[in-house]
Structure 1
């Protein structure tokens, strides 16, 4: 049976510390938080919570009993009609703009749902894991049966079956499709998951019909949308309110954790903050290297769960999503120095957004020194291409057999990247607040017995 170790699995327990204690259905928990004034009352949001509550009831002690489809050729999988009869209860696809509370509601739902085999993860991390499993399955098959028989091997089906055995409920945060390699395998992967009775709850910034909008070879991706809508109800969370920003009004901000590099001792301020955090950590400052999956990542300065890094090292080096996930598994506080103005399409910008998303999704505290204030950190400039880059796009068009109009995709217009900028900016602003830091401290105390003992003292 194909499996990955816990060290590389993207699945995470519920990230929000408030919901760890007991199984409480979403509507009851939401009303408690509104009454305690931890949340601002939002009628539209409460209606969505009602849908989550109903889904919790349908999934009470749910066990998937779907039978994997018989092995068929890859060609048949690509062109067969999507199943219209779900093997399990219908899931939910929840979309909304930044700051509407999607991640919070997912945590609330996940921790209030009585399903023994359930997993919650960022969708990007999930797809990284899928590609690892896919390669592992093919390598194992080649070793046992030979490469000449690989054409008839359904590696994707085996990957889907292994995931379905581990999880009967999959919760995906930030469901988005920007990579053509992901776009081409999603239909086969999810069709098999649904045939196994797996239930999916996903949050996204886009409605299903807008996924992979204008992406390369999108016509081949469109059948996946039909599969998704055949197995998931669709709901919009858009109410015109960014709760991450609204809830910050009147709340004391941890202003010291975002230092604007004005040339007047900003580096000294960061050094001083690092020392104070290390004193609270009660550990020695030392260099540390993480080893995982044949990779390694070195940090000149670390102290217990605190690490001090630079933007250049995190975003201008060939970092992958797994690197950031590994950091989150070892550090609860990250200091990032030397962050420049982030321009659309510039080198390192996509990695920086992925870095912020990963820290936020794993409740990691963030300290930043940057060249601009938060509101000016992301430059929404359009992409300008050099003559060499334009020539490379022409070669790409010829290689793929595309027309000139096909190059006007989200890959080249920066539409997806601009959308991710808005999300990252909203998340950074939330990560600077006292409530975020307090929640992270509580979460670490619950999940880390050593810290829990120290906190109790």
Structure 2
């Protein structure tokens, strides 16, 4: 490949040496984890007004209405007394029922749940330092970096905690998050979350959820669930994703694109096992495009789940992905797509396909 690539390079392309994700071992200090608990670049400018509900899906319009109402009162100082609807809007109302103090957006992948969650964060009338936004993985990683008590102390003064991609993958996470959110609710923190799974069914198909039913029920009690129906907007009315390119095309484009990385897909999967998922965002720092050769089916579930996290971080950062080998809809085997993590895998396929479409422009420049 090297000789044919060298022969095909232009003088400008020859000066650009691609980056390599496999050569990176990022270190992420705890203060960076806290500082980065804001909506990612893709969702930095979204608002309720930029969300376009599908006219055939009234639940999408209803979700916007409820979330806009949810922001009312979120700018007020935390109050640990009994509260009104969602825990907000009526301070010190002893006779009001202690209902859920959060909203939970449930729906399939690609219906705009993260868009709405980020819009809620932006609409909340509080300083950025008083509201936090992160994925479920990032939240559990924060606890690992700071320790449980320090995480409670850090987040207790917030008006709002937004948790994207809420999933319980093991019993340890179940107990940890149940305890954490309970303490934050007691401190007056509002909660908002997105997931592909209803709160009462978290963990189903992944572990013996029945053994942790109390914790799971405790989690669901914090939220009012809002179902959002619809099809994947990332592919609504758009052309099919481009077919994979040749190794030579991917390599040539990587050399010709400033800030592009170039790695073999099997080697990247091996490398992800040596980097904690909390560092996958840092792994892509400064990367303008990811170029992968020899894409093939993911060999096992642990590797597949790591790839899902990387796909999410690339999508958040709007990093196009150019690849050779198999198309992304063949990454996960039939057994995986029927198992407990199937919704995660479908989300990853959807997001990687969107990023592959974005990468077309890189090839067209050649």
Q: What band does the TM-score fall into relative to the shorter chain?
A: 0.7 to 0.9
Q: 1:132 to 1:187 in 2, by over 3 A?
A: same
The count of residues paired between Structure 1 and Structure 2 equals: 315
1:267 matched to which residue of 2? 247
Residue among 327, 331, 337 paired with 1:373: 327
Q: What is the deviation of 1:7?
A: 2.5
Is the counterpart of residue 354 in structure 1 residue 300 in structure 2?
no
1:164 matched to which residue of 2? 156
Q: 1:158 to 1:373 in 2, by over 3 A?
A: closer
Is the counterpart of residue 415 in structure 1 residue 339 in structure 2?
yes
2:181 matched to which residue of 1? 190
2:23 matched to which residue of 1? none
1:48 matched to which residue of 2? 63
1:63 matched to which residue of 2? 77
Residue among 135, 139, 157 paired with 1:122: 135
TM-score (norm 2): 0.75
Partners in 1 of 2:284 and 2:293 — Cα distance?
18
Q: Is the 8 A contact 1:10 1:126 kept in 2?
A: no
Q: Is the 8 A contact 1:244 1:426 kept in 2?
A: yes
Q: Is the 8 A contact 2:42 2:316 kept in 1?
A: no
Q: What is the deviation of 1:162?
A: 2.3
Q: Is the 8 A contact 2:161 2:192 kept in 1?
A: yes
TM-score (norm 1): 0.61
Point out where structure 2 has 5 or more consecutive residues left out of the alignment: 1-28, 82-96
Q: What is the deviation of 1:315?
A: 1.6
Between 1:193-202 and 1:182-191, the stretch displaced more is 182-191
Q: Is the 8 A contact 2:244 2:326 kept in 1?
A: no
Q: Is the 8 A contact 2:294 2:326 kept in 1?
A: no
1:12 matched to which residue of 2? 37
Q: 1:247 to 1:174 in 2, by over 3 A?
A: farther
Is the counterpart of residue 105 in structure 1 residue 116 in structure 2?
yes
Q: Is the 8 A contact 1:360 1:427 kept in 2?
A: yes
Point out where structure 1 has 5 or more consecutive residues left out of the alignment: 68-83, 135-155, 261-265, 279-302, 383-412, 439-457
Q: Is the 8 A contact 1:161 1:193 kept in 2?
A: no
Matches within 5 A, 1:159-308: 159-165=151-157, 167-216=158-207, 218-239=209-230, 241-249=231-239, 255=242, 259-260=244-245, 266-278=246-258, 303=259, 306-308=260-262
Partners in 2 of 1:435 and 1:268 — Cα distance?
15
SS of corresponding position for 1:46: helix
2:101 matched to which residue of 1? 90
1:424 matched to which residue of 2? 348
Q: What is the aligned-residue RMSD (CA, Å)?
A: 3.1
SS of corresponding position for 2:103: strand
Q: Is the 8 A contact 2:43 2:118 kept in 1?
A: no
Say which one has the larger Rg. Answer: 1
SS of corresponding position for 2:257: helix
